[in-house]
Amino acid sequence: MVAEMWTSEQVLALSPDARSTKNGKALANAAKWPLLGRSEQVVWGECQGSGKNPYRTQIELSEPAFRCSCPSRKFPCKHALGLFWLLVEQPDTVPENVPPDWVTDWLEKRSQATQRQQTKTAKAADPKAQAKRAQQRETKIAAGLVDLEQWLQDIVRQGLATLPNQSYRFWDQAAARLVDAQAPGLARRIRALASIPHSGQDWPERMLRALGLLHLLVQGYRRIETLSPAMQAEVRSQIGWPQTQEDLQLRAEQGDPLVSCEKDIWQVMGRVIFEEDNLKGQRVWLRGHESLRWALVLNFAYGKQPLDVSLVPGAGFVGELIFYPGTGVQRAFVAKREGVVRALAHPISGETLEGAITHYAQALGQNPWLGPYPLMLDQVYPLWQEDRWWLQDTVGYALPLSSRFQHPLELLAISGGHPLQLFGEWNGEVLMPLGILTKTQFLTLEG
């Protein structure tokens, strides 16, 4: 059954905060649910709250997807978490039954929404209108690059020593001009520069590197016709050209060689939640069982909108990904999902620290603007040395752990002095551990 593919640890990974976890566990009690039921596809229940009518909660198990009639703005809410824990920890208390109308209506609406999306994807946009919009964007970006190049020259001419005295407005104004020029990728890079002069004694070196990559991106875009098709796509992506999932799916169906489609058993290896330009964002790393291919799934949420929670660290699914054009480790989105796979149903191979960094160097050679990079490491253990935590392998190679990693002692306790298999993100300087694989389970270390 699909329900048997989920574990308590994976449900825990869905919780939006510690309070939701505590309240959800308190609701994982069959006595609190006057109505409970499940089928192969969905589990549902009614939980009596403080109001007159009970809250109706339902979970579609293959993704998972949630709905609850309670007024909570958290997603999933405590009722959904409690129902999910009850299902995976006490399955005998949730009887198999025929779903009531309020459950089947929800499933039908979800199915109709999927069909509408597929219909929308199938409709090709007007090529002439697309070409006209692209030309207008090219003109705006070209003007924005002239201003950016002058701005970079002014910084170099005045010297880096003046930068710590610059207010945030200095950076924000330059970024705003690039937003107006429809180059949001460049604008994000400019805003990221603002914190560098206040981030340690070696800031001039890091600032010069960041400015150099920005200059390289400008020059690459100016000479884009001389680049390979894949690198052209990467440069446009870094500049901030929009790419919709509908357009990419259509290009994949038409056989565009730059848009690859990969069907595999995908293991969800780790998740990082971050904030970017006043948005909540989420990076989820997937690895293909057959292809051994890495995929980065990004999504964002505005304001109080919830992030997508359907990709749970430690879970696996059979599905089809469509990859964005580009080089190195590529971004992707889930085009089709055909079924859930039991956690660790397939062995996951790792590599030595030396081998992992060699592969990172190769990826960096393909894409000089490479962001966080996935590392699946074998035979490593945590080590406290030189006033910081490291991850060392059995032959003595070591990588520094990120100062943002909050669980080094927990990592040490799990290892018990023995080597571990660990997944994490490497940014070229420090490693952020995101998950530990044992012989029987996947332990999440949220980033």
pLDDT of residue 35: 93
- In sequence order, the 6+-apart residues with CB closer than 8 A to the CB of 259 are 248, 251, 252, 322, 323, 324, 325
In terms of pLDDT, which residue wins out, 439 or 410? 410
pLDDT in tens, 49-76: 877 889 999 999 888 889 999 988 888 9
Reference 265, options 331, 323, 151, 346; nearest CA is 346
Least confident of 107-116, 256-265, 372-381: 107-116
pTM of the model: 0.81
Average pLDDT of the residues in 237-242: 91
DSSP-assigned letter for residue 314: T
Nearest to 299 by CA among 328, 318, 325, 274: 274
Indicate if the pLDDT at residue 434 is higher than 60: yes
Sort residue 278 into left (φ over 0), alpha (ψ -120 to 50) or beta: left
Least confident among 52-56, 113-117, 232-236: 113-117
pLDDT, residue 277, reads 66
Per-domain residue ranges for the chain? Answer: 2-122, 127-239, 255-341, 353-444
pLDDT digits (tens, 9 = 90+) for 284-326: 999 999 999 999 999 988 877 778 888 888 888 999 999 999 9
Per-residue confidence (pLDDT) for residue 432, from 0 to 100: 96
pLDDT band at 28 (very low <50, low <70, confident <90, very high): very high
State yes or no: pLDDT of 126 exceeds 80. no
Least confident of 203-217, 336-350, 397-411: 336-350
Mean pLDDT of 270-293: 89
What is the reported pLDDT for 119? Answer: 57
* Distance separating alpha carbons of residues 374 and 270, to the nearest angstrom: 9
Query: Which residues, in sequence order, are bridge partners of residue 268?
Result: 286
Contact 442, 314 (CB under 8 A): yes
In which band, very low, low, confident or very high, does the pLDDT at 116 lie, cut at 50, 70 and 90?
Answer: low
Collapsing DSSP states into helix, strand and coil, what is residue 270? strand
Sheet holding 55-60, edge to edge: 35-38, 42-47, 55-60, 65-68
pLDDT surpasses 70 at 1: no
CA–CA distance, 248 with 258 (Å, rounded to integer): 10
Q: Which residue has the tokens 């074998």?
A: 378
What is the predicted pLDDT for the residue at 306? 79
